Amino acid sequence: MERLEKRGTEGFWQRTAWQGRIFSAYFGQFVKMRLAYRMDFLVDTLAVSFSMVIQMAVLSVLFSKIRALDGWSFEQVLFIYGFSLLPLGMFNLISVNFYGFSDKYIIGGKFDRVLLRPVNSLIQVIFESFNVSGLNEILLGSAVMFYAGTKLGLEFGVLDLAVLMALAPAAALVYTGVFLAITSVSFWHEDKMGLAPPVYNIIRFSRYPMTIYSLPVRVFLTFVLPFAWVAYYPATWFVGDQQLPWLALLTLPVGLVVFSGAVFIWHRGASRYASTGS
Amino acid sequence: MSELAAQLLTPWHRSASASVGLYFYFIRLAFLKFLAYRVRYYTGVVSYTIFVTGHYYVYSALFASAVAESATGQLGGLSLPEMITYVAISWIGRSFYFNAIARDLARMVQEGEIAVMLIKPFHVQTVMMFEAIGESAFRLLMFTLPIMVVIVPLFHIQSAPDPMIYLWTFVSFCLALVIYSQLNFMLGCLAFAMKNIQGVLRAKMVSMDFLTGVVVPFTFFPEWFQVVMSYLPFQYISYVPVTIYLGKRQGAELQEALLVQLAWAVGLFLLGRLVWRVSVRNVIVQGG
């Protein structure tokens, strides 16, 4: 116990390194657990690919009737779709415990255990389980993007790659922030309604070019529920008429603001957590 | 021979009317069970409105682009108002026939609860179908009706061309419920052989609305796809009832559609009984 406390309080960098070791141990445990069910990953890969095939079939059927959807070609829409899978995959990878957080951690009292440990409560909850299928989405999304990009004849320079590397995680922060905020609500009151599913269902429509939506919907998706930032705005760096290239880069601050806001709500909620006593 | 007939007609030495009473009791039970969770369905109304709204914009843009390119105003035999009605009725219907039997059955097999079900004097398949009916009765009142109240005025949904069509559409969606529940039941039976069917359930989740025609009407697809789908039961879950509502099937065509639908419902129920018999033979319950 003494050693633990000492290690934890010797300045910021040592403390961070110490936390890093703890969380890699968490991750190691998770990998061991997953390796017991190797078949699941295979089945999951099939399910994700299957879902993509269907999504692409829907797009190609719709585009078989027209040359362009509101001025957007099939390949452009496909590129946005492919891009949207990168942040979605990253988000799915770390968000397993957001679902059913209220049941498992608050009603089930698992959060007591989390608070007893001298490391960040949010990172603990995130690191207790991962959804490996997120990796499938990242890989297959990249493949779709590569295919659509080649068809479009996009010139993909070092700068573009750097932008992609920055915007995809930033967009993932938008997803994570929104769902973390919803999850945090359960610290205040038990979420009997299930707020997450309707919000999750909006995701599939945030993959289309925003120009097909009416102004109120666009404003809503840009400022209220910022899902326009998970696919469309960041993707405009690569496709579209590129009148406002800096708009895509705004994804970065938007992601940071949404995520920090959610982390703030989380810690406010966690501080007023009263155990069920079980 | 007469013993066999007696066994078939009155299994578990129960009179036919007692059997009817027993199975109808499960409708009531399921209805009350879902009534306890009704709050969850309020957000469901929001979800379904989101689906219809999203598709409304996608199809509006699609039709606008088509008009700009060729000026026909019709796509896949549908005008834009018909298309919006198609989307709305599809989702309204889905809010009625939907259930999660496959997941429930898989959970019972995995957790060993199935052992208790097996020693009870009823057919698990029949009980689950009647529970699905009870769930849908609940859905009709607490979910489908509120969704209609929101969606129909919001998107100016077309009324049916003839008052009788409302009745036929409802009958068709009731048959869709039987077809959907039996397909789901057979999928759930896979849990006996596979233990973990999460992947299968996910694949079903992403493909079902596509195969039934909820997402895109079949007339948008190439000819070969439509031919393949006409030999499969999926289109009778949504595409057929919705086209009945739109007045695309009338007279003899309407009768034929409903009869084929009925045949699928009966056929899949019998097939489900067979699949159940085979699956149950090698059930392994761990502890419990």
Among A227-231, B79-83, B195-199, B236-240, the range scoring the smallest mean pLDDT is: B195-199
Taking only the tens place, the pLDDT of each residue in B260-280 is 999 999 999 999 999 999 998
Instruction: Considering only the beta carbons, identify the residue of B39, B47, B60 that sits closest to A198.
Output: B47
Residue B18 corresponds to which amino acid? A
CB atoms within 10 A of CB A44: 20
Residue of A nearest to B36 (CA): A192
The CA distance from A90 to A39, in Å, is 22
End-to-end CA separation in angstroms for chain A: 25
Q: Match 């159940």 to its residue by tokens.
A: B276
Taking the domains of chain B in order of start, what are their residue ranges?
22-280
For all residues of chain B together, what is the average pLDDT?
Answer: 90
Instruction: Label residue B211 by pLDDT band (50, 70, 90).
Output: very high
Position B9 scores a pLDDT of: 61
Q: What is the share, in percent, of chain A residues with pLDDT greater than 70? A: 94
Is A40 in contact with B196 (Cβ distance < 8 A)? yes
Give mean pLDDT, residues A230-253.
87
Instruction: List B78's β-bridge partners, or say none.
Output: B75
Test mutation, A52, A56, A61, chain B, max B CBs within 10 A: A61
Residues of A in contact with B40 (CB under 8 A): 192-194
Would you say A86 and A138 are in contact if contact means Cβ atoms under 8 Å apart? Answer: yes
Answer whether residue A171 shows pLDDT above 80. yes
Q: Is B44 on the interface with A (CB under 8 A)?
A: yes
Instruction: List A73's β-bridge partners, or say none.
Output: A68
Give mean pLDDT, residues A155-178.
92
Position B19 scores a pLDDT of: 84
CB atoms within 10 A of CB A277: 6
Residues of A in contact with B36 (CB under 8 A): none
Q: Is A201 on the interface with B (CB under 8 A)?
A: yes
Among A142-146, B9-13, B205-209, the range scoring the smallest mean pLDDT is: B9-13
Instruction: Label residue A2 by pLDDT band (50, 70, 90).
Output: very low
* CA-to-CA dists, residue A100 to A11, A30, A175, A190, angstroms: 36, 19, 17, 11
Reported ipTM: 0.86
Instruction: List A59's β-bridge partners, or say none.
Output: none
Is B60 in contact with A201 (Cβ distance < 8 A)? no
Instruction: Tell me which residues of chain A, numbers 46 to 105, contact chain B at a CB-CB cutoff of 8 Å.
Output: 46-47, 50-51, 54, 57-58, 61-62, 64-70
Instruction: Label residue B288 by pLDDT band (50, 70, 90).
Output: very low
Residue of B nearest to A193 (CA): B40
Position A36 scores a pLDDT of: 72
Q: Is A216 on the interface with B (CB under 8 A)?
A: no
Answer whether residue B197 shows pLDDT above 80. yes
CB atoms within 10 A of CB A159: 9
Residue of A nearest to B77 (CA): A65
Long-range contacts of B155-162 (CB under 8 A, 24+ apart): B155/B52, B155/B56, B155/B84, B155/B88, B156/B81, B156/B84, B157/B84, B157/B85, B157/B88, B157/B89, B158/B81, B158/B82, B158/B85, B158/B246, B160/B245, B160/B247, B161/B247, B162/B247
Would you say A234 and A82 are in contact if contact means Cβ atoms under 8 Å apart? Answer: no
Instruction: List B79's β-bridge partners, or say none.
Output: B74
Is A47 in contact with B206 (Cβ distance < 8 A)? yes
Q: How far is B3 from chain A (nearest CA, A)?
A: 47
Q: How far is A213 from chain B (nearest CA, A)?
A: 6
Taking only the tens place, the pLDDT of each residue in A47-67 is 888 888 898 899 999 998 888
Quickly list DSSP for A149-194.
Answer: HHHHT----HHHHHHHHHHHHHHHHHHHHHHHHHHHGGGTS--SS-
Is A47 in contact with B216 (Cβ distance < 8 A)? no
Residues of A in contact with B54 (CB under 8 A): 202, 204-205
Least Cα distance to B175 among B84, B61, B267, B40 occurs for B267
Residues of B in contact with A51 (CB under 8 A): 202-203, 206-207
Instruction: Label residue A240 by pLDDT band (50, 70, 90).
Output: confident
Instruction: Considering only the beta carbons, identify the residue of B69, B200, B206 that sits closest to A66.
Output: B69
Residues of B in contact with A64 (CB under 8 A): 220, 222
Q: Is A204 on the interface with B (CB under 8 A)?
A: yes
Residues of A in contact with B61 (CB under 8 A): 69-70, 212
Is A198 in contact with B57 (Cβ distance < 8 A)? no
Would you say B199 and A132 are in contact if contact means Cβ atoms under 8 Å apart? Answer: no
Position A277 scores a pLDDT of: 62
Considering only residues B283 and B270, tell me which one the structure prediction assigns the higher pLDDT.
Answer: B270
Main-chain phi, psi angles of A72, to 5 degrees: -100, 130
Residues of B in contact with A204 (CB under 8 A): 54
Q: B114: helix, coil or strand?
A: helix
Answer whether residue B4 shows pLDDT above 50. yes
Taking only the tens place, the pLDDT of each residue in B35-78 is 988 888 888 999 999 999 999 999 999 999 888 777 677 888 89
Answer whether residue B174 shows pLDDT above 60. yes
Is B207 in contact with A50 (Cβ distance < 8 A)? yes
Test mutation, B50, B55, B79, B98, chain A, max A CBs within 10 A: B50
Out of A67-71, B107-111, B181-185, B221-225, the most confident range is B181-185
Residue of B nearest to A54 (CA): B207
CA atoms within 13 A on the CB side of A113: 9
Position A172 scores a pLDDT of: 96
Q: Is B194 on the interface with A (CB under 8 A)?
A: no
Residues of A in contact with B91 (CB under 8 A): none
Least Cα distance to A257 among A226, A232, A231 occurs for A226
DSSP state at residue A73: E
Taking only the tens place, the pLDDT of each residue in B114-169 is 888 888 888 899 999 999 999 999 999 999 999 999 999 999 999 998 999 999 99
Q: How far is A73 from chain B (nearest CA, A)?
A: 11
Taking only the tens place, the pLDDT of each residue in B213-264 is 999 999 999 999 999 999 999 999 999 999 999 999 988 999 999 999 999 9
The CA distance from B180 to B102, in Å, is 10
The CA distance from A151 to A149, in Å, is 5
Instruction: Considering only the beta carbons, identify the residue of B39, B62, B64 that sits closest to A65.
Output: B62
For all residues of chain A together, what is the average pLDDT?
Answer: 86
Instruction: Label residue A1 by pLDDT band (50, 70, 90).
Output: very low
Q: B171: helix, coil or strand?
A: helix
Residues of B in contact with A213 (CB under 8 A): 57
